[in-house]
Amino acid sequence: MRKKSLWLSLSGLGVGLFVACSADPPVVSVGDIYTPYWVGSRNPYTGIHDRANNARAETWKREYGRTVTSTGPSTASLNSDPMIRSSRSSSAPSRSPSSVYRQVNVKKDFLSYGARGRSRKSMSPRYITIHSTQNWSRGADALRHSKALKNGALGRLSWHYTVDEDRAVQHLPTNERGNHADYDGPGNRYSIGIEMCEHPGNSRSMTLERTAKLAAWLCVKYDLPVSRVVPHYKWPRRGKNPPNKNCPHFLLSNGRPGAKWQGFLKAVDVYRRGMLGR
């Protein structure tokens, strides 16, 4: 009898561990409290430094005048504004939109039409809103976020793309509203939402580059100026304090758009002008 009870207890523990390990990670960016990943962690995640020797990361540094040294979690020591191209490299080679789209490596994995995150409301995009997931669960890449959206783990939340170092997964058609910015405000009604992954092991520099290319491609597709690429911060949320969210946190300065954000926009503009042959 004791052996049977012990076996049942161990079985229950095994099931519990399986459920805990296989559960979809929460998307922290939809909350309001930012707790850095490295707090209480023995293995702090250093963001952009995680693959500094990777060839693509080196290309990013060369193109954008970036000098990176590993100085602490989720940040970098920069000799100049991040992602702002040097005057010696102010233009990109001409590339067709289809070529850039292939480089982004978009994988379509749409939510079912009856999913909770589908608004089923049409949209004519006027903006592109950039988010960061603030999800530091291991393995919380674009595919894992797609799974969480599809199985309803995030309720009515939804956005159009999730980007990581390898790919961009598309969850919604870009002519349909998502629920990612400001409830029923203009951010949801008129903008395409892009979430950038930042889980341990994911290269921030490669994710940023892929996001810049995707945003530029969308600008060309919908004939939008780069000024219409905006941070989540732009859209105030009713009833929240503060109303403007510190998102994407690693592209804002003291919680607001500044030099880092302008550097990102410059990267978007380089790719956009390359596609337009300018």
Nearest to 250 by CA among 124, 74, 129: 74
Flag whether 42 is in a domain.
Answer: no
pLDDT range class, residue 255, cuts 50, 70, 90: very high
> How confident is the model over 184-227, as pLDDT tens digits?
899 999 999 999 999 999 999 999 999 999 999 999 999 999 99
Burial 20-54 (b: 16+ CB within 10 A, else e): eeeebbbbbbbeeeeeebbeeeeeebbbbbbbbee
Q: If DSSP codes are grouped into helix, strand and coil, which group holds residue 53?
A: coil
Least confident of 23-37, 174-188, 195-209, 237-251: 23-37
The secondary structure of 115-170 as a DSSP string is STT----B----EEEEEE----STT--HHHHHHHHHTTTTTT-B-SEEE-SS-EEE
Flag whether 243 is in a domain.
Answer: yes
> How confident is the model over 136-157, as pLDDT tens digits?
999 999 999 999 999 989 899 9
> How confident is the model over 58-89, as pLDDT tens digits?
443 443 333 332 222 233 322 333 443 433 34
Flag whether 12 is in a domain.
Answer: no
Flag whether 171 is in a domain.
Answer: yes
Residues with Cβ < 8 Å from 119, sequence gap 6 or more? Answer: 158, 176, 177, 178, 179, 188
**Domain carrying residue 179:** 48-276
- Give the number of C-alpha atoms closer than 13 A to the C-alpha of residue 228, restricted to the C-beta side: 20
Which residues on adjacent β-strands are paired with residue 108? 170
Please tell me whether the overall predicted TM-score, pTM, comes out greater than 0.75 for this model.
no
Residues with Cβ < 8 Å from 231, sequence gap 6 or more? Answer: 129, 130, 247, 248, 251, 252, 257, 261
> How confident is the model over 6-18, as pLDDT tens digits?
443 434 433 332 2
Residues with Cβ < 8 Å from 240, sequence gap 6 or more? Answer: 32
Determine the residue type at 158: S
Rounded-to-integer distance, Cα 75 and Cα 87, Å: 24
Taking 50 as the threshold, does the pLDDT of residue 52 lie above it? no
Nearest to 261 by CA among 224, 211, 221: 211
- Please state the length of the chain: 278
Nearest to 129 by CA among 71, 46, 32, 214: 214
Flag whether 37 is in a domain.
Answer: no
pLDDT range class, residue 90, cuts 50, 70, 90: low
Q: Structure tokens of 236?
A: 């105030």
Which domain CATH number covers 160? 3.40.80.10
Which residues on adjacent β-strands are paired with residue 257? 252
Flag whether 20 is in a domain.
Answer: no
Flag whether 104 is in a domain.
Answer: yes
Flag whether 82 is in a domain.
Answer: yes
Q: How many domains does the chain divide into?
A: 1
